[in-house]
Amino acid sequence: MFYKALRYPEAGGHIKLQGRFADGQYDGTVTRFHPSGARQSVRVYERGVLKSSQYWSPAGSEASSVAAAREADCEHKQDMAYLSTLEDVVARSLAQARREVRK
């Protein structure tokens, strides 16, 4: 996922989130970036289960493991909500395209 230039003009085109899915769950390393392009967090999952996390402030200070775990939980919920929205958009677009093809 990438930042949009409309919401974060200085971040247009910077990567926001990078990770891998397997069977609808995170699997492996998931890295989130601040709008500046600096790392915000690194989360490591094993078949959807969070194994470790790190978090950095926009200034680059690393947070405690407790704060990183709290951020990881929040970020995971945000990611899943966003991805669910994208899946809905794709499903609606495909349904519309099918209707147009049948005409």
Give the model confidence (pLDDT) of 65-100 as tens digits.
999 999 999 999 998 898 889 889 889 999 988 888
Which structure tokens are listed for 74?
A: 């929040």
Q: What pLDDT, on a 0 to 100 scale, did the predictor assign at position 12?
A: 60
Of 3, 69, 71, nearest to 33 (Cα)? 3
Could you tell me what percent of the chain has a pLDDT over 90? Answer: 51
Instruction: Identify which of 24-38, 50-64, 89-103 has the greatest average pLDDT.
Output: 50-64
Q: Give the contacts of 31 (CB within 8 A, at least 6 positions apart).
A: 17, 18, 19, 39, 41, 42, 43
